[in-house]
Structure 1
Amino acid sequence: MAARIYQRPKNAMQSGKARTDEWVLDFEQTEARRADPLMGWTGSGDTQAQVQLTFPDKAAAQAYAAKHGIPARVHATPPRHLKLQAYADNFR
C-alpha cells in the first residue's frame, strides 16, 4: 500500500491558483482495473486508490505517512515559469 505525496498543480482550465498550496497524499493502485462486462465501465476492487488526503504542508503529509507506516514517495514540485510580456510585444 504505497503512496505518493505531491503538491497540487495549478488548474490548466482556469487562471486562479486556488488550492495550489495544498499537499496531497494518494495511494497507488494495487489491483489492475478491469472492464465491467455489462456496462463497459472500468473499475477495480481496490478502494484505497479512491482515497486522497490533503495537508497544509509537506512535513504534515510525511508525518502522517510515517505515523501510519505507509511507504510514501515525495514528488518534487516543478518550478513555475512566468512569461512576462507586455501588450506592445504583440506588435514587434
Structure 2
Amino acid sequence: MKIKRSMLCMLAALALAATAQADSAYYYPGDIPYGGDPFKFCSLGMPSHGWIAVSPAAGTWMPISQYVNYHYIPTYEMICPHSHGVPDYGSG
C-alpha cells in the first residue's frame, strides 16, 4: 500500500511540474511597450529610445542614435527569440 501511495505522490508531483513548465513557456513580462503587443515590439524595437530590431529571432538590435535608452533592451532580448516568428500583417 505504501508503494502505491508513494507512486501516486510521485506522479502527482511530475504532473504539477509539467504544468508549471508549460505555463512559463507562454509568459510575457508586463513591461512590454506598444500596449503590451510583443509582435509589434519584436518587429520594430524602440526607435523612440534610440534602437531598432535587427533580428527578433536572434534577439539582436542596433542603435540608431548616440543616446540609447536601454530600459526595454533586456525585455527584447528575453522575449523575442522565443516568439517563434513575427506574423506578417501585410503592407496595408
* Larger relative helix fraction: 2
Q: Taking structure 2 as the reference length, what is the TM-score of the superposition?
A: 0.23
RCO higher in 1 or 2 (8 Å CA, sep ≥ 6)? Answer: 1
Q: Taking structure 1 as the reference length, what is the TM-score of the superposition?
A: 0.23
* Larger relative strand fraction: 1
